[in-house]
Amino acid sequence: MRTRNIPWAMLRGTVVLLYLFILVPIVITVSVSFNAVNQSKFPPLGFSLRWWADAMSARWLQPLAFSIELGLVAAVLSMLLGMPLAFALVRHRFPGRDALTTLALGPLALPALVTGIGLLQFIHAAGLGFLFGFPTLLIGHVLICLPFSVRTTAISLRAMPPNLELAALSLGATPSTVLREITLPLVKSGVFAGGVFAFIHSFTDYSISLFLSRPGTQPITITILSFLEYGFAPTLAAVAALTLVVPLVLIAIVQRVFRIGDFLYAENARG
């Protein structure tokens, strides 16, 4: 193709440095967890797995499991709410459509931290105190997941060749059959990707949970944050590294079904 010149070589050098900048802190966190001493030292002093053993205790596994559970339920619920919404926004013209589009993306546009306080006060003031704990936290997480599910569903609906559904109709399929046999199979992977993004967003979130979680319903991020007040023990590094495993495993599984890079890229290319 084009001849690469000196500026291009300089750009490559810069990009290598940038990748280092991106990855080094994460690598450091992971390696600190292997320290032999009870200090967060980098490079690690000696090697041991004792902090990992600590991290595997119920005290940490319980919030980790809770985060996974919360993320799964929130992702599924947000898909159930988001899919019909995306469907209506893409396939129908109706009054208030633009306002609803803005609203659907709202939880992503406004700071989740503040949405959290708003929700906390609102539920308190509305006398819905019985919802505190898991229900409130779940509501918050469904909220922040919703933009992802709506968006990914909308993208895959738009990516569908427009005439497929018409072709099926002309061949005698009723609208519900078209939905079942044509539309859903074709948006399946997009919807699934949306669910995965939603889960990861929920799993890595701390903003919405900060004010909504209670003892016993604490996601792992909040647990780590509250322990950081007492210092930066290597156990925390091990726990933090452990939380990396969940999304990575998920992405690895998903990669077998379809290439998530393609999906991200498609979203970009949409322009």
Partner 1 sequence: MADAAVSLRGVRKLFGSAAAVDGIDLDAQQGEFLTLLGPSGCGKTTTLNMIAGFLHPDAGSIHLAGRKVDDLPPFRRDIGLVFQDYALFPHMTVAENVAFGLRMRRVDKAEIAKRVAAALDLVKLTGLDDRRPLAMSGGQRQRVALARALVINPKVLLLDEPLSNLDLKLRETMRLEITEVQRRTGVTTILVTHDQGEALVMSDRIAVMNRGRIEQVADARTIYERPATRFVAQFIGNMNLLDVVAVGPGGGTTCAVRFGAQTLTVAAPQKLEAEQHVLLAFRPERSTLLARPKDDAALELAGTVRQHVYLGTRTEVHVKLTNGASCVVELANDRGGTPPAIGSAVTVRIDAADCTAYPTESCG
Partner 2 sequence: MITTSRLRPLLLVALPAAFLFIFFVLPNAFLLAASFLKSDAQMLTDERTLENYGFLFGRPLYRAALLRTFVIGGLVGALVVVLAYPMAFFLARTTSRWKGPLIALALAPLLASVVVRTYGWWVLLNREGALNDLLRALGLTTGPLVMLPSVGAIVVGLTHSLLPFGVLTILSALNGINPNLERAALSLGASRTRTFLNVTLPLSAGGVAGGFLLAFALAISAYATPTILGGPATETMATLIYKFMVSLMDWSIGSALGTILILSSMALIAIGTMLGARRATV
Q: Segment 34-53, which members bind partner 2 (CB under 8 A)?
A: 39-43
Least CB distance to partner 1 at residue 143 (A): 33
Strands (E), the chain: none
Q: Considering the rule CB under 8 A, would residue 215 count as an interface residue with partner 2?
A: no
Q: What is the 3-state secondary structure (H, E, C) of 121-133?
A: HHHHHCCCHHHCC
User: Smallest gap, in angstroms, from Cβ of residue 164 to partner 1?
Assistant: 5
Least distance (Å) between residue 76 CB and partner 1: 23
Rule CB under 8 A: say whether 198 interacts with partner 2. Answer: no
| Residue 186 makes contact with partner 1 by CB under 8 A | yes
Residue 105 or 159 having the CB closest to partner 1: 159
Q: Is 171 in the site for partner 1 (CB under 8 A)?
A: yes
Question: Is residue 140 within 8 Å of residue 208, measured between CB atoms?
Answer: yes
128 residue type, one letter: L
Residue labelled with tokens 């990396």: 244
Closer Cβ to partner 2, 59 or 122, answer by number: 122
Q: Is 103 in the site for partner 2 (CB under 8 A)?
A: yes
Considering CB distances under 5 to 8 angstroms, the limit depending on partner class, which of partner 2, partner 1, none binds residue 168? partner 1
Q: Which residues of 213-248 are buried (b: 16+ CB within 10 A; e: fewer)?
A: beeebbbbbbbbeebeeeeebbbbbbbbbbbeebbe
In angstroms, the CA 53 to CA 82 distance is: 40
Q: How far apart are CA 164 and CA 54, in angstroms?
A: 55
Closer to partner 1 by CB, 58 or 171: give it.
Answer: 171
Instruction: Quote the tokens at residue 57.
Output: 């205790």
Stretch that binds partner 2, among 49-57, 68-76, 179-187, 218-226 (CB under 8 A): 218-226
What is d(CA 249, CA 231) in angstroms, rounded to the nearest whole number? 29
Stretch that binds partner 2, among 52-60, 68-76, 79-87, 179-187 (CB under 8 A): 79-87
Question: Could you list the residues that contact partner 1 (CB under 8 A)?
Answer: 161, 163-164, 166-175, 177, 181-182, 185-186
